[in-house]
């Protein structure tokens, strides 16, 4: 008797052309995306994106966590993300957690700011002068800074509100990419290998991290819309996401009423703020991820990283792929097995696991693991 593996129902191949108003309703077609130009394509303001074989063009996500120690997280993420580059070449990025980034626990806060290509000394001085003035009001100071590509990294001593500092920087048009005591984010246009040539992130060691290869389908191609997304206004929280939220605007208005701000129109940014909000309220990451399965509508799989944990969520349809290998020394996750093999070429003795629908799981840097699968139930946010 032949046993069929899940899913039992497979969709037929979709055509490479969809009626544009479908995209205008906010439903992802996978084939159209907003264009800054109002010409070309099959509909004003939209341009056709060629589908991959089988009509499954989508982003790729990856993550790695070392248990009870640190390792070459930067190099691992480079291999993982490059291994799934066929899923998206518009942009790529990595988020790495390491105690070395802060160089002294909560004494040094690292701020990554976007600057222009080949920034002039005047441009850098303008950013530093703005930040210095804001820090002085809170009793902080700039400790050091360095430039790599279009990212200005600034180490500061600061004990005030991170959210207040972020929002005030935004008033001066300073674009923050990440803020954290352990978190650093490098992201830009192009693939993971190009990113490493500019930012040399493969040299960074850490405890864990996440990465992303992006195919832009619902917002423009730009460095600020590349993943990972840092939770704007919070320290040390980042996510990578493959999918679409159908209740994005409802949730965004919900959090804006609570006083949160958004830098982009990307639904992935909302996922980051959603997780950060409930973590700040004292919930455990596993509980937040389980709750997100009830609050977030759409088709999605995302990874979230905090200073001590790495977790994932796969929605009730499990339309967005994810596989992982959990070994004695580390856990490695990717959208496809080909990504895992880019890092783990000898996988014959390893078990590759694929999460079921409505599954949330977390791993901690001290070796702990939690995994749960939710049943259907309807509850709303607070």
Catalytic residue ranges? 59
Alpha carbon distance 36, 356 (integer Å): 38
Which residues on neighbouring strands pair with residue 185, listed in sequence order? 95
**SS3 per residue for 168-204:** HHHHCCCCEEEEECCEEEEEEECCHHHHHHHHCHHHC
Give the containing element (helix H, strand E) for 250.
helix 248-256
Q: Quick count: other Cβ atoms within 10 Å of Cβ 105? A: 9
- Decide: 24 and 9 in contact? Cβ < 8 Å: no
- Decide: 334 and 64 in contact? Cβ < 8 Å: no
Spell out the residues 6+ positions from residue 204 whose beta carbon is closer than 8 angstroms to its own.
73, 74, 96, 98, 101, 184
- Decide: 250 and 380 in contact? Cβ < 8 Å: no
**SS3 per residue for 11-66:** CCCCCCCCCHHHHHCCCCCCCEEECCCCCCCCECCEEECCCCHHHCCCCEEEEEEE
The beta strands (E) that lie in 69-150 are given as: 91-97, 109-114, 141-148
């Amino acid at each position: 008797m032949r046993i069929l593996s899940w899913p039992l129902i497979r969709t037929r191949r979709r055509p490479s052309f969809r009626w544009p108003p479908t995209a205008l309703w906010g439903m992802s077609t996978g084939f159209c995306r907003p264009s800054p130009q109002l010409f070309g394509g099959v509909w004003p303001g939209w341009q056709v994106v060629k589908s991959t074989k089988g009509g499954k063009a989508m982003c790729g996500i990856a993550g790695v966590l070392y248990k009870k120690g640190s390792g070459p997280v930067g190099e691992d993420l480079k291999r993982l993300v490059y291994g799934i580059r066929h899923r998206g070449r518009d942009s790529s990025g990595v988020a790495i957690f390491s105690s070395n980034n802060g160089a002294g626990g909560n004494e040094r806060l690292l701020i990554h700011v976007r600057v222009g290509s080949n920034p002039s000394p005047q441009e850098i001085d303008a950013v530093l002068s703005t930040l210095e003035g804001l820090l002085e009001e809170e009793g902080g100071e700039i400790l050091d800074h360095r430039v790599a590509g279009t990212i200005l990294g600034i180490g500061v001593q600061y004990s005030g509100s991170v959210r207040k500092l972020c929002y005030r920087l935004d008033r001066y048009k300073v674009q923050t990419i990440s803020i954290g005591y352990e978190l650093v984010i490098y992201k830009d246009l192009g693939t993971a290998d190009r990113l490493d040539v500019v930012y040399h992130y493969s040299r960074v060691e850490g405890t864990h991290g996440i990465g992303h290869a992006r195919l832009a389908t619902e917002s423009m191609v730009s460095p600020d819309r590349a993943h990972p997304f840092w939770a704007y206004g919070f320290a040390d929280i980042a996510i990578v996401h493959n999918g679409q939220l159908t209740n994005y605007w409802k949730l965004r208005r919900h959090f804006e009423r609570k006083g949160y701000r958004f830098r982009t129109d990307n639904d992935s940014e909302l996922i980051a703020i959603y997780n950060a909000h409930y973590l700040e309220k004292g919930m455990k990451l596993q509980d937040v991820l389980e709750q997100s399965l009830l609050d977030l509508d759409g088709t999605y799989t995302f990874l979230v990283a905090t200073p001590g944990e790495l977790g994932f969520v796969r929605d009730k349809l499990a339309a967005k792929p994810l596989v992982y290998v959990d070994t004695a020394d580390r856990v490695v996750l990717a959208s496809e097995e080909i990504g895992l093999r880019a890092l783990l070429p000898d996988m014959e003795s390893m078990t590759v696991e694929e999460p079921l629908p409505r599954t949330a799981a977390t791993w901690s840097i001290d070796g702990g693991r939690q995994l749960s699968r939710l049943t259907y139930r309807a509850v709303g946010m607070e």
